[in-house]
Structure 1
Amino acid sequence: MENRLAVITGANTGIGFQSARSLALQGYHVILTGRFEGKIDWASSTINAMCEESGATGKAFPMLLDLASFDSVLQFAIDFGLKYDRLDVLLCNAGVMNAPYTITENGFELQFQVNYLSHYLLTRLMMPYLQDADSPRLIQVTSMLGERAKSGSLKMFSEIAKVSKDQYSPLQSYKESKLAQMLLTRYINRIYREFLFTAAVHPGVVNSDLFYRRVPKIAKSLLKPVAWLGYVSGTLKTPYDGADTSIWLAAEKEPLPSGKYWYERKTRPWSEYALDDNLAADLWDWSGEQVRTFLG
């Protein structure tokens, strides 16, 4: 039987790596994407060694993908299409949090583009391959912080996407990008539900690279006891535990309800704004306009 194929963004570390490792050990062929060739090569080699040792039939394959560049997303889709004719699982895991103010080469605030807009573009470009798979799955790793976002209109989203430096709030931009992922999940479920399983996942507060972003090197060692206390109290998860629900949604053979928001393998209520169908449709159309030259 042919191995199922998964693409995982941001798969060289943290919950992305754990998701890739687990799926490969379950027999999946997993494409690990990331910005740095050395890091995804190392991650792929490590997973392949684990599969060989355990006798698993899964394999890991590295492919470059920089979500801060629409050109890179398009090139990834072209390269993918030259090698593969279908995609069983697209796990949109990569994310940026608490980033210093940065405008990408495409003119968008970094967090909004990496977390949402580039995943929107990637999803659109991968849709023909998902359509050709048997029981395909699309999973967005979002965040409970998206429930606290305040973008109740397309105007607010467009302002966040191109926010000025003096108006920039790292946490607020992160929240809005995660709400956008939630709206994307619900809208895709609405228009593609006949063939595609979709889900949004809150992984929990995870002790990963994202957790330590912008923390000075000298302070990271001081945070280790804090992390240990977090594990003991249950407020902080390991990357393996944070990846658990995504892995389960990707590989579970029993039927699951599509278009839902998940945490710890249970559905969680959507926020008020995430339930706004008109906003979801407007955001879909607006996003398409922002990336139209890359959609062909």
Structure 2
Amino acid sequence: MTFSIADIPEFTKPTVAVVTGGTGGIGKVAVRELYNHGATIYVIARNASKAEALISEVVDKAKENGGSVTIIKGDHMDLNSIVSAAHEIAEKETKIDILLNNAGIMMVPYVETSDGYESHLQVNYISHYLLTRLLMPLLQAAEAPRIINVSSIAHTGYWRFNFEHPNLKGGIEFFKRGMRYSQSKICNILFTNKLAKLYPSILCLSVHPGVIVDTGLMDAMIHDKSRFGYMRLFARINVWFGRKLGSTIEQGALTSIYCAVDKGLTAEKNNGEYYVPIAKKAVSSSTTRNPVTIDRLWDWTEEQLISKGYWPKNETA
């Protein structure tokens, strides 16, 4: 099917959206269009200057459609920061209609967060898991809520989640960076599929936005200072092909926006589906559809967060 910005419907009812990674790239386009069509948006952001630029660029103070954008301070490298962001949103709203888990990093050097997780694993997956769980009461309070988790075709680049060594530390860094990124994107689809099972009344979808090279995700590779420059060469080749064959930032945002707003999608018919550009249903890897792995990752993540005191062991989803 085809889907464009012109196909985005106006929100006829008060609509509240929460967007992560909304200060740049495809997230900023999503924020702009949700705002333009009347949504009340909360953008979780750690970079104050980017947040100010987003407001200046996206928000038209003269609009009369009821749209608004509020910045909520939150850093996906710090789980306590995500807790604070969720609580701040809960103080302001009684329901959430759309949760777009869009924030992400790619192919960055090995770093462990203060919470003890490799940065791809935490930023791309665990922080979104925590945020979603904390916002679940507000999502359940909405009439037809949606959760959209941004994954990547790169989830096919690794064949499993490494429960024994989830940080994927050590080895040849050139390859391990890609494995860490791919693993985190596997998690996002597994997470989506588990949510769809647990919450059949919430439309939960995962998305591959496309190959988009101008979002800043390639910066870590382009500026890499490794001795032989393999990462820089790999990045430049990808950028060249991406600009020839890939998607623009505007095009890259369309599938996420489609999943967030299209009236033909329902929890009853479409829960747990995976979408690729532009707005096409596809089939994710067999790993992400394995029911044993789906349940095991959920249990592993729950145990991780229980051990850190985020909720009691006897709390059910």
Report the Cα offset of residue 103 of structure 1. 0.4
Deviation, 1:65, is 1.2
Specify whether residues 102 and 230 from structure 1 end up closer, same or farther in structure 2 by C-alpha distance, changes over 3 A only. Answer: closer
Once the 2 structures are TM-superposed, how far is the Cα of residue 166 of structure 1 from its aligned partner? 4.4
> Which residue identity does 1:259 align to in structure 2?
G
1:278 has 2:292 as partner? yes
- RMSD of Structure 2 on Structure 1 (CA): 2.4
Identity of aligned residues (%): 30
What is the TM-score of this pair, normalised by structure 1? 0.89
SS of residue matched to 1:24: helix
Identify the match of residue 282 of structure 2 among 248, 262, 268.
268
CA distance in 2, matches of 1:289, 1:226: 38
Q: Provide the rounded CA distance (Å) in 2 between the counterparts of 1:215 and 1:72.
A: 29
Q: Tell me the residue number matched to 1:295.
A: 311
**3-state SS in 1 of match to 2:44:** strand
Q: Secondary structure at the match of 1:157?
A: coil
Q: Match for residue 123 of structure 1?
A: 132
Q: Is the 8 A contact 2:46 2:74 kept in 1?
A: yes
* Alignment correspondent of 1:246: 256
Could you tell me how far 1:229 is from its partner in structure 2? 6.8
Would the alpha carbon gap of residues 228 and 159 (structure 1) be closer, same or farther in structure 2, given more than 3 Å must change? closer
Match for residue 33 of structure 2 among 22, 31, 55: 22
Aligned positions of 1:172-183 closer than 5 A: 172-183=179-190
2:189 aligned counterpart, secondary structure: helix
Give TM-score scaled by structure 2 length.
Answer: 0.83
Does the aligned pair in 1 maintain the 2:44–2:85 contact within 8 Å? no
| Paired position in structure 1 for 2:102 | 93
The match for 1:32 among 43, 59, 73 is: 43
2:257 alignment partner AA: I
Q: Tell me: CA distance 1:101–1:90, structure 2 relative to 1, closer, same or farther (3 Å).
A: same
Deviation (angstroms), 1:7? 0.6
* Higher mean C-alpha deviation, range 64-73 or range 165-174: 165-174
Measure, in 1, the Cα distance between the counterparts of 2:189 and 2:172: 24
> Closer, same or farther in 2 for the Cα pair 1:117/1:38, shift >3 Å?
same
Q: Contact 1:142 / 1:178 at 8 angstroms: preserved in 2?
A: yes
SS of residue paired to 2:62: helix
**2:17 aligned counterpart, secondary structure:** strand
Q: For 1:28-53, what per-residue CA distance to the aligned partner results, in whole angstroms no more than 9, with x for missing partners?
A: 1111121112211220232212x636
Residues 226/199 of structure 1: CA separation in 2 closer, same or farther (3 Å cut)? closer
**C-alpha distance in 2, partners of 1:241/1:210?**
16
Identify the residue that residue 166 of structure 2 maps to in structure 1: 160
